[in-house]
C-alpha cells in the first residue's frame, strides 16, 4: 500500500503526518508535532489516528527547522519501516499571485518559489528546506506543494490591492492573505457539518504563534487580516502585526536601522514577545502575573476584536465565528476577552461551554454562533497529495 507524508512548518513548530492511500482518499496513520523549535524544551510527539500517544520526548537538540525535519523523517522511517512513500505533501506559505491551487514540485518550481522567500522570510525558507530534504530522502515520491495564499487568490479587487500606483500591483505588491490551508479545512468542515452556516457569513480566527482572521461568504474568502506579508494584521508570537509604515521610515531615517535589522525586529522580536519581554508563547503569558504579560494579552485580544468588527462590515453581517489554531482552540481566556461586550454584533458567549472548549461556546440565545473547531491542515495537504499523485 502506498503512503503519504505531510510536512507543515510553522514559525516555531513542525506538524507532520503519515497517511495510507486507499483509492484517492488518505487515511491517517499518525500525526505529530515538533513544538518550540529552538527552545530549551523542544518536544517531539507522535499520536495515532485516535489521538492516542505513540511517543513523546523532550529535547534541547532541535535548534532549527532543518534539525526538526531530519528528526521527523527519521522517526517516521523507524516507526513505520514498511511504509512505501509515494507522495510527500508540503505546506508552502507563499505561492505568489498566480498559484491558486496545489502543484507538483519540480526543480524549476523550487527555484521559482525561492524567489518568494523575501515575501515570507519566517516561513518560506523552512518550507522549502523541508521540500529539499524530502526530495533527497524520497527521490521517487511525488512532491506536492499546497500554498497558504491560494485560498485567498480570488479576493475582490478592493481587498487585494493597496492604494499605490497600479504598476506595483502588476508586479505583485498586493494583499495575499495567509493560513489558507486552515481556512480551507474549516470551510470544508462546515460544509459537511453545518451547511447552513457554510452558506452564510463566517469569520474564522486562526490564532496561534502566527495569527490571522478571514471573512468567508459561502465558504469563499472575501477578506483577510494579513496582507502582502505574514506581518500584517493581528499581533503574533514574535511578529508585530499592523504597523504604520511611517514607523519603518522613522527607524531607517532617524535611527539608522538597515533592512536586515528592521526585518529582525518586526519578524522575531515583536508581537507577544516584544510586548511582554517574557515569551512568545500564550501559555506562558497566561501563567504569568506580570503587568507586561497581561498587557500583551490585552493588546492581542483588542486587535482581534477590532478586526472582528472590520470583517463583519466586509461581510455585511455575521452568522458565525470560528476559533481555531493553537490559541483559538485552547485558550478560553483569549476567546472570552475577544467576545466580551459583543452583544451589539449578536455574540453572547456561554462561560461554562467556553471554559470546556466545547464545539459551540455561544449561548442558545446568541444571534451569532461561536464555535471552536480544531483545524487539520495535514488532511488538506494529504488530500491534495493523494489526488495529484494518483
Could you give the residue numbers annotated as active site? 148
Instruction: Please report which helix (H) or strand (E) contains residue 163, including its range.
Output: none
Strands ordered across the beta sheet of 211-217: 220-224, 211-217, 201-207, 320-324, 369-372
**Residue 362 bridge partners (DSSP):** 349
Give the burial class of 204: count Cβ atoms within 10 A of its Cβ; 0-12 exposed, 13-18 middle, 19 or more buried: buried
Grid cell, residue 369, equals 454562533
Q: For the residues of 240-253, what is the DSSP string, one character each?
A: --S--HHHHHHHHH
Report residue 95 as a C-alpha cell.
505561492
Q: Residue 25 phi/psi, 5° resolution? A: -100, 125
φ, ψ (nearest 5 deg) of residue 348: -135, 110
| Helix/strand/coil for 33 | strand
What's the farthest any 2 CA atoms get from each other in the chain?
62
**What does the DSSP 8-state code read for residue 28?**
E
Strands 84-92 and 142-147: parallel
Give the N- to C-terminal CA distance of the chain in Å, as an integer: 13
Angstrom distance (rounded) from CA 334 to CA 356: 13
Amino acid at each position: 500500500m502506498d503512503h503519504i507524508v505531510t510536512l507543515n512548518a510553522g514559525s516555531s513548530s513542525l506538524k507532520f503526518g503519515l497517511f495510507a492511500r486507499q483509492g484517492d482518499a488518505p487515511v491517517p496513520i499518525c500525526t505529530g508535532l515538533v513544538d518550540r523549535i529552538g527552545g530549551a524544551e523542544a518536544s517531539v510527539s507522535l499520536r495515532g489516528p485516535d489521538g492516542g500517544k505513540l511517543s513523546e520526548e523532550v529535547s534541547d537538540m532541535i535548534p532549527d527547522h532543518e534539525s526538526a525535519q531530519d528528526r521527523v523523517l527519521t522517526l517516521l522511517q523507524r516507526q513505520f519501516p514498511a511504509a512505501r512513500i509515494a507522495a510527500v505533501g508540503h505546506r508552502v506559505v507563499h505561492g505568489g499571485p498566480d498559484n491558486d491551487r496545489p502543484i507538483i514540485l519540480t526543480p524549476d518550481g523550487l527555484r521559482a518559489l525561492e524567489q518568494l522567500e523575501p515575501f515570507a522570510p519566517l516561513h518560506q525558507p523552512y518550507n522549502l528546506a523541508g521540500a529539499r530534504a524530502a526530495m533527497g530522502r524520497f527521490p521517487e515520491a511525488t512532491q506536492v506543494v499546497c500554498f497558504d495564499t491560494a485560498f485567498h487568490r480570488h479576493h475582490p479587487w478592493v481587498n487585494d490591492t493597496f492604494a499605490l500606483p497600479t504598476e506595483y500591483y502588476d508586479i505583485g505588491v498586493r494583499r495575499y492573505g495567509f493560513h489558507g490551508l486552515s481556512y480551507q479545512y474549516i470551510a470544508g468542515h462546515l460544509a459537511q457539518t453545518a451547511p447552513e452556516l457554510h452558506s452564510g457569513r463566517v469569520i474564522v480566527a486562526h490564532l496561534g504563534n502566527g495569527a490571522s482572521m478571514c471573512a468567508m461568504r459561502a465558504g469563499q474568502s472575501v477578506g483577510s487580516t494579513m496582507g502582502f506579508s505574514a506581518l500584517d494584521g493581528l499581533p503574533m508570537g514574535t511578529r508585530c502585526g499592523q504597523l504604520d509604515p511611517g514607523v519603518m521610515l522613522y527607524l531607517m531615517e532617524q535611527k539608522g536601522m538597515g533592512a536586515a535589522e528592521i526585518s529582525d525586529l518586526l519578524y522575531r522580536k515583536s508581537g507577544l514577545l516584544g510586548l511582554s519581554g517574557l515569551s512568545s508563547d500564550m501559555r506562558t503569558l497566561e501563567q504569568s502575573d506580570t503587568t507586561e504579560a497581561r498587557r500583551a494579552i490585552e493588546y492581542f485580544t483588542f486587535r482581534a476584536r477590532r478586526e472582528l468588527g472590520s470583517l463583519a462590515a466586509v461581510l455585511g453581517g455575521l452568522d458565525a465565528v470560528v476559533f481555531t489554531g493553537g490559541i483559538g482552540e485552547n485558550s478560553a481566556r483569549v476567546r472570552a476577552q475577544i467576545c466580551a461586550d459583543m452583544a451589539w454584533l449578536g455574540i453572547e458567549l456561554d462561560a461554562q461551554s467556553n471554559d470546556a472548549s466545547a464545539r459551540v461556546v455561544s449561548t442558545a440565545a446568541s444571534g451569532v454562533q461561536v464555535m471552536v473547531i480544531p483545524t487539520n491542515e495535514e488532511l488538506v495537504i494529504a488530500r491534495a497529495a493523494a489526488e495529484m499523485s494518483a
